[in-house]
A and B are shown apart, each in its own frame.
Chain A
């Protein structure tokens, strides 16, 4: 099979959009709670990565989860399934202040 190509830039009207992350738009603004990881507690087991329905978790070079907040819908499946309880929830309206702290 031929590899997929991106949309040619000069065509204004195409019937087909080539698949890429977020082709249908961002879903981060659905979130009520934001997941926050405690990197001291995290053992890098990657269970959160496996269970995330939105592909919003990637693992960094130390094997700790990084949340892609543009797509995370805040379902907290990662928090419930974390075996060492390293992920906690912060209300989205208070998240900016909490992260700065």
Chain B
């Protein structure tokens, strides 16, 4: 990796003096890490006064912009579940046209937020098209593992054996029967300028990735894990710890893909577990803290299902290690 400019390092003392662009008073559930995630992203912007946010439907959109109010101090746009990246490409095209006519002298940075319902299922074709057309925007998918906003329906992001209201636990079915979509790999296969996974607990890592994704010329995608205590059923103050454990069990490994070199690189919080595999925790530790996996432990412990979950996690982790030449 050859970089002429030194990489931006977030320092809390400097960031704390910046203006808050995502304000208080929004209606997210108490303890929802999506609020922290949005704040971290807004504090990492290279040009905060010259950024436009386009947002897909999701918890963050519904809670932060109840008509006619808004919690965002930046120009902000929402249309539907499926077209947040298409909106962003339209905004960029409009600014380009106005620049050509001499009406604007600058094209603003574009930031797209979407939840996992939009990023994994409904909005894939718009995102895929926008990346293919090489629009200059950053697409942040915050993943809380289901459609939490409409009442916990399963999505492509829900892991196997998780309880949701549309994958009920009963005698015949132990929750959802299918594994999670590897969405960051799907977008990385589009060969964007930058693609990464992140978690809300590792704020420094996440903010560096946001800055990198905004500064790079061309499309960038970040898949960030943001736990939800209403579906996952953990005490609300443990949100950051759940995100941390997901990284420590290698359920959600952190890596980045650079379009320039076409290389997959494991990020520091996950590289530890590739170099020292004995530090990696069994995924059972993460599962037993969550109420949505309670049927794997009570009333009867289902060792076969836990072993299956561990096998799928290990397969994904081995694949990422292989991609990044660390395995």
> Which A residues fall within an 8 A CB radius of B?
1, 4, 14-17, 19-27, 30-31, 45-47, 49-56, 59, 68, 70-71, 73-77, 79-81
Contacts and interface: CB of A to CB of B under 8 A. Distances in A.
B25 A80 contact: no
State the main secondary structure of chain A at its contact with B: loop
B24 A68 contact: yes
**Most B CB within 10 A of own CB, among A27, A30, A31:** A27
Interface in B1-54: 12-13, 15-16, 20, 22-28, 30-36, 39-40, 49-50
B31 A25 contact: no
B23 A23 contact: yes
Contacts of A4: 73
A49 B268 CA distance: 23
B108 interface: yes
Contact of B71 (A19, A68, A74): A19
A27 B22 CA distance: 15
A24 B24 CA distance: 9
Contacts of B20: 21, 55
Given A46-B12, A80-B237, A26 B50 contact: no
B173 to A, nearest CB: 33
B25 A53 contact: no
B31 A23 contact: no
B58 interface: no
Contacts of B71: 19, 23-24
Contact of B68 (A16, A21, A54, A80): A16
**Most B CB within 10 A of own CB, among A1, A16, A19, A71:** A19
A35 B25 CA distance: 18
B36 A52 contact: yes
A77 B240 contact: yes
A80 B245 CA distance: 14
Interface in B221-240: 236-240
Contact of A24 (B16, B49, B66): B66
Nearest to B75: A1
Nearest to A24: B69
B255 to A, nearest CB: 23
Contacts, number: 109
A-B pairs, top 9 by smallest CB distance, nearest first, are A53-B35, A75-B31, A73-B30, A22-B25, A71-B24, A76-B237, A75-B30, A46-B12, A21-B23
Nearest to B26: A24
Interface of B: 12-13, 15-16, 20, 22-28, 30-36, 39-40, 49-50, 66, 68-73, 75, 108, 203, 236-241
Contacts of A47: 12
B13 A20 contact: no
A80 B35 CA distance: 17
Nearest to B23: A21
7 contacts: A22-B25, A24-B71, A27-B24, A75-B239, A76-B236, A77-B236, A77-B240
B248 to A, nearest CB: 16
Contacts of B240: 51, 77, 80-81
**Most A CB within 10 A of own CB, among B24, B25, B240, B241:** B24
Contact of A51 (B16, B23, B24, B203): B203
Given A19-B72, A53-B31, A75 B237 contact: yes
Given A76-B31, A79-B237, A80-B241, A50 B12 contact: yes
Contact of A53 (B15, B34, B50, B75): B34
Contacts of B241: 80
Contacts of A71: 24-25
Nearest to B24: A71
Nearest to B95: A1
A6 B80 CA distance: 27
Given A22-B23, A25-B25, A75-B32, 7 more contacts: A17-B68, A22-B25, A27-B24, A45-B12, A73-B31, A74-B30, A80-B238
